[in-house]
Amino acid sequence: MSPNIRLIVVLSVVYIDMLGIGLAFPVLPRLIAQFQGGDISLASYTVGGLASVYSVAQFLFAPLVGTLSDRYGRRSVILLALAGMGANYFLIAFAPTLWLFALGRAIAGAFGATFTVAGAYLADVTPPEKRAQSFGLIGAAFGFGFITGPALGGLLGDVDLRLPFLVAAGLSLADFAFAYFALPESLAAENRKAVNLRYANPFGALREVGRYASVLGLMTIFVLATFANRVAEMTWVLFTEYRFHWGPRETGLSLAAVGVMFVIGQGGLVRFVVPRLGERRAILLGLTVSAITVTLYGVVPQGWMVFPIMALAAFGWTIAQPAVQALMSRAVPANEQGLLQGALASMTNLTSIVGPPIWTGLFGFFVSEAAPIVVPGAAFFGAAVVFALALGVAHRWFAAVTPAEAKS
């Protein structure tokens, strides 16, 4: 099978997986609020806590998943993840209590390995100089899922808040069947690496990839920017409902618009911007635009105004993220791509452990009676500060490390 066909198949798997995840976005906070008597302020803290539960599981399991894919291949790990996600969505759909719902989120995190292994898969089949574009295509597949998933989830949520989880379960199992028959293995036998349990955990994986001088500086930029970027993911439904009085339908459509911009950015703009600017300047551009974008989200007084800001966001972290990943990917050998992607996934999920309570907590506090002044956009303003910090780190790191050192 040609590399292009393999690329299309693995991106299709990522798309269907993200479609299932996106279905739940518009209804999750409202379902949590139902468990807690309709108290939106209290629900905002619970949403953040459950997101952290999901991310703790991913943080702990992602390096193991990456290490196993370096040993046994990418295909089998992707299949296991898809089967686990399908079973989890059924559990969440029928959970009668908040505790069982939380258990379902933990299981989802443990099996949420598709993106980790997809990154390693694309590194296997893509030349080093084209990896920024390939990582951008993963983002585009993610974005396509985010266009259709939340829009459909909002419509289904108007019928029943649990219906999107049942549909997501069916999609995950259909994705498993598709990958079983259509997805070939990408990791050659000579590039496989024996499992070392010392590196099958977040801290061991970081120590291992930390042997490469350029990785740790880039990892710092990646972690800070990913942490800041979590703000919209965690507070969007809460923020737009409070600020603009949006329901599931409006929220779903707005999230679909976010997905459109994500596809345009990572599926199209990355392929033109990164080759012309180079990874370094693309990273600086993306971080600058992101700081401006989240600030604007926090200040707009009317709902329609968020849509022009989304167009600006297509030039933000959407552009910078695949450029950062490409630089890191070129710094490690073929038999450690899974290890690197596992370490990246763990760091991403570390931001999801710390980020949701902070961002939803900021929102919840500044719309509560305890706040000295009501500031619905407080979380977005905090994220702007973190993006600015990441930009400062990037400037310092690029000044200290030459392009040749960044690739070694």
The fourth-level CATH superfamily of domain 3-182+201-406 is MFS general substrate transporter like domains (1.20.1250.20)
Written as six digits, the tokens of 248 are: 């599931």
**pLDDT at residue 401, rounded to an integer:** 66
Given a contact cutoff of 8 angstroms between Cβ atoms, the answer to whether 401 and 327 are in contact is: no
Task: Report DSSP letters for 203-245, one per residue.
Answer: HHHHHHHTTSHHHHHHHHHHHHHHHHHHHHHHHHHHHHHHHH-
Written as six digits, the tokens of 145 are: 């899922």
Task: Report DSSP letters for 262-308, one per residue.
Answer: HIIIIIIIHHHHHHHHHHHHHHHHHHHHHHHHHHHHHH-SSGGGHHH
**pLDDT at residue 408, rounded to an integer:** 43
Parts of the chain with a pLDDT under 70 = 1-5, 20-21, 38-41, 112-115, 143, 146, 195-203, 213, 401-408
Instruction: List, for residues 164-202, the tens digit of each pLDDT value.
Output: 888 888 888 888 888 888 888 877 777 777 766 666 666
Instruction: List, for residues 47-103, the tens digit of each pLDDT value.
Output: 777 777 777 777 777 777 777 778 878 888 888 888 888 888 888 888 888 888 778
Whole-angstrom Cα distance, residue 262 to residue 319? 9
Whole-angstrom Cα distance, residue 257 to residue 332? 35
Written as six digits, the tokens of 13 are: 């798997």
Please name the helix (run of DSSP H) or strand (run of DSSP E) that holds residue 103, with its range, or none: helix 98-111
Tell me which amino acid residue 109 is.
G
**pLDDT at residue 201, rounded to an integer:** 65
Whole-angstrom Cα distance, residue 155 to residue 103? 26
**pLDDT at residue 288, rounded to an integer:** 96
**Ramachandran area for residue 32 (φ above 0: left; ψ -120 to 50: alpha; else beta):** alpha
Given a contact cutoff of 8 angstroms between Cβ atoms, the answer to whether 67 and 338 are in contact is: yes
**Terminal Cα-to-Cα distance of the chain (whole angstroms):** 31
Residues 6+ apart with CB under 8 A from 336: 70, 193, 208, 209
**Mutual angle of helices 317-330 and 131-159, in 10-degree steps:** 130
Given a contact cutoff of 8 angstroms between Cβ atoms, the answer to whether 242 and 364 are in contact is: no
Whole-angstrom Cα distance, residue 314 to residue 298? 17
Written as six digits, the tokens of 85 are: 């996600």
Whole-angstrom Cα distance, residue 324 to residue 67? 21
Q: CA-CA-CA-CA torsion for 263, 265, 268, 272, nearest 10 degrees?
A: -170
Written as six digits, the tokens of 190 are: 């000579």
Whole-angstrom Cα distance, residue 317 to residue 320? 5
Whole-angstrom Cα distance, residue 371 to residue 353? 24
**pLDDT at residue 299, rounded to an integer:** 92
